[in-house]
């Protein structure tokens, strides 16, 4: 009898080892049509104009419409905490009241008017959701201390020591969860926003985001962006897009000679097997954190700035433009102080980004998620320096060749086709052969689109 039991136990263990683990349940891909070809623009209201208000920013909507961006992401619009504040104006991400507007920017009526005007002009609007932490003098701290993480002495503490101006929220508390969800629903229902960019999304339990997504979609279908790359389960049911931090860092590391083209290929090969179907990354060469803390794209990427901007618009994912990039912003914007943009800096970059947006929107192969084509890397004679890939969707094809090095390249790309393309940079016809010769100066690139 004992032998039979041992044999049965052994058989069960072996059967378990041979049985594949069940796949994580994911939500069906139901991509918002307006996000298919969208380019996102991050709005830093404080620094956008000398006034730093919603009303002053609204005057710039026609220029952004002409630029071609479709999604406006507003950094936090809420009142900023005063307790433990950093700098004279404080961090946008230290929130005192989740259902109010920062008086520095205007009134809630001003914000609602801005959203309405943006919608009338064809924009979609998302705002920052800072759900991991609040200001130390948030309205919740006095009446609901148990909504916060506390030390052994009962003191409310920050999520990490360096974030000394924010208090860590306790997601074991169901009442706090309900209040946070109520705040998120408020801006969708009352202001009509179209979704959220969720700050430090991995610091909040996935099941909260999944519950929130269902609740928000019941009001209107929303777009959700996670500031996270590691917790891919966030993409199963809660978010359609997350941060492409790895690609962003690879740009800098390749420019510095620490990485090469094969690392980009390796990333997308892995992503193709790990990302849930239809989900994708946000591509960027700058954002508020990178600009303020790690330097402008000109500091980090030097003469490769335009090359990597072009890359961010042609690889899978949604491109992001940060406030001022289209004006050649070449200074680190102060994070806790007033530091207005100089909009007269470089109009050539405005033309450059407008053309990139046209490229993306006019070529379905470059669209986002399931609306776009997969990336197919092509064999080259310089595998560590010459990046070549093709993306196709139905009858549309885009062929990209980039010299990601400071050394001129005279080499070949195995395209596997003989075809006439249109050179996006020059507007001229480009004949492509199966073994295509290519000459590229340092950081030069060619983008060819099907005729």
Both structure tokens of 317: 């994912």
Q: How many CB atoms lie within 10 A of CB 28?
A: 7
Average pLDDT over residues 333-348: 91
Q: What is the DSSP string of 344-387?
A: TS-HHHHHHHHHHHHHHHH-GGG-SGGGSPPEEE--BS-TTTEE
Read off the pLDDT of residues 415-436 as tens digits, 9 standing for 90 and up: 999 999 999 989 999 999 999 9
Work out the percent of the chain whose per-residue pLDDT is above 70. 93
User: 2 CB contacts (<8 Å, ≥6 apart)?
Assistant: none
Burial of 441 (0-12, 13-18, 19+ CB in 10 A): exposed
Every domain of the chain and the residues it spans: 33-372, 377-450
33-372 topology per CATH: TIM Barrel (3.20.20)
Q: Would you state the pLDDT for residue 451? A: 84
- Comparing CA positions, the residue from 324, 331, 284, 309 lying closest to residue 44 is 324
Closest CA to 140 of 81, 59, 227, 54: 81
Find the mean pLDDT for residues 389-413: 97
Q: In the prediction, which pLDDT does 8 show? A: 38
Beta strand 429-432 pairing with 195-198: unpaired
Is there a common fold for 33-372 and 377-450? Answer: no
> Does the pLDDT value for residue 24 go beyond 50?
no
Q: What is the pLDDT of residue 25?
A: 52
- Report DSSP state, residue 155: -
Residue with tokens 């269902």: 214
Q: Is 126's pLDDT higher than 60? A: yes
Higher pLDDT, 19 or 416: 416
Tens digits of residue pLDDT in 254-313:
999 999 999 999 999 999 999 999 999 999 999 999 999 999 999 999 999 999 999 999
Task: Specify the pTM.
Answer: 0.93
Note whether 314 and 363 are within 8 A (CB). no
Query: What is the CATH topology of the domain spanning 377-450?
Result: Immunoglobulin-like (2.60.40)
pLDDT for 208 equals: 98
Please tell me the predicted confidence (pLDDT) of residue 27. Answer: 54
> In Å, what is the CA distance from 187 to each residue of 139, 156, 215, 394?
18, 27, 12, 38
Q: Which residues pair with 125 in a beta bridge?
A: 72
Going by the DSSP 8-state scheme, the letter that residue 20 receives in this structure is P
The mean per-residue pLDDT over the stretch 117-145 comes to 97
Residue 21 above 70 pLDDT?
A: no
Q: Give the pLDDT of residue 252.
A: 98
């Amino acid at each position: 009898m004992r032998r039979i039991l041992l044999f049965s136990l052994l058989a069960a263990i072996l059967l378990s080892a041979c049985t594949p683990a069940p796949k994580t349940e994911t939500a069906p891909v139901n991509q918002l049509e307006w996000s298919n070809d969208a380019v996102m623009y991050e709005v830093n209201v404080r620094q956008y104009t000398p006034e730093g208000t919603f009303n002053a920013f609204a005057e710039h909507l026609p220029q952004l419409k002409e630029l071609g961006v479709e999604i406006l992401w507003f950094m936090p619009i809420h009142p900023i905490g005063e307790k433990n504040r950093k700098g004279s104006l404080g961090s946008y991400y230290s929130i005192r009241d989740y259902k109010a507007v920062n008086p520095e920017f205007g009134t809630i009526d001003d914000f609602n008017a801005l959203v309405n005007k943006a919608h009338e002009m064809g924009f979609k609007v998302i705002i920052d959701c800072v759900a991991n932490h609040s200001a130390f003098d948030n309205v919740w701290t006095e009446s609901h201390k148990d909504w916060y993480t506390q030390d052994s002495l009962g003191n409310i503490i920050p999520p990490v020591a360096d974030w000394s101006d924010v208090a860590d929220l306790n997601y074991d508390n169901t009442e706090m969860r309900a209040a946070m969800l109520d705040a998120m629903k408020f801006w969708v229902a009352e202001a009509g926003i179209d979704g959220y960019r969720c700050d430090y999304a991995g610091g909040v339990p996935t099941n909260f985001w999944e519950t929130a997504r269902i609740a928000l979609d019941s009001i209107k279908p929303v777009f959700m962006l996670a500031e996270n790359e590691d917790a891919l389960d966030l993409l199963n049911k809660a978010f359609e897009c997350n941060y492409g931090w790895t690609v962003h860092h690879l740009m800098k590391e390749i420019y510095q000679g620490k990485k090469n083209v094969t690392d980009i290929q390796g990333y997308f090969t892995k992503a193709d097997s790990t990302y849930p179907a239809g989900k994708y990354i946000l591509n960027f060469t700058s954002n508020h954190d990178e600009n303020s803390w790690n330097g402008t794209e000109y500091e980090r990427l030097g003469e490769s700035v335009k090359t990597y901007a072009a890359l961010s618009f042609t690889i899978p994912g949604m491109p992001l433009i940060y406030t001022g990039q289209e004006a050649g912003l070449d200074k680190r914007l102060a994070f806790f102080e007033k530091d207005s943009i100089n909009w007269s800096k470089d109009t050539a970059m405005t033309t450059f980004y407008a053309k990139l947006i046209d490229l993306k929107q006019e070529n379905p192969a470059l669209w986002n998620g399931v609306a776009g084509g997969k990336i197919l890397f092509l064999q080259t004679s310089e595998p560590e320096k010459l990046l070549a890939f093709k993306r196709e969707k139905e009858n549309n094809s885009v062929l990209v060749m980039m010299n990601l090095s400071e050394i001129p390249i005279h080499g070949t790309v195995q395209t596997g086709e003989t075809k006439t393309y249109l050179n996006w940079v020059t507007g001229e016809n480009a004949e492509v052969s199966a073994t295509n010769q290519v000459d590229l100066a340092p950081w030069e690139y060619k983008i060819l689109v099907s005729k």
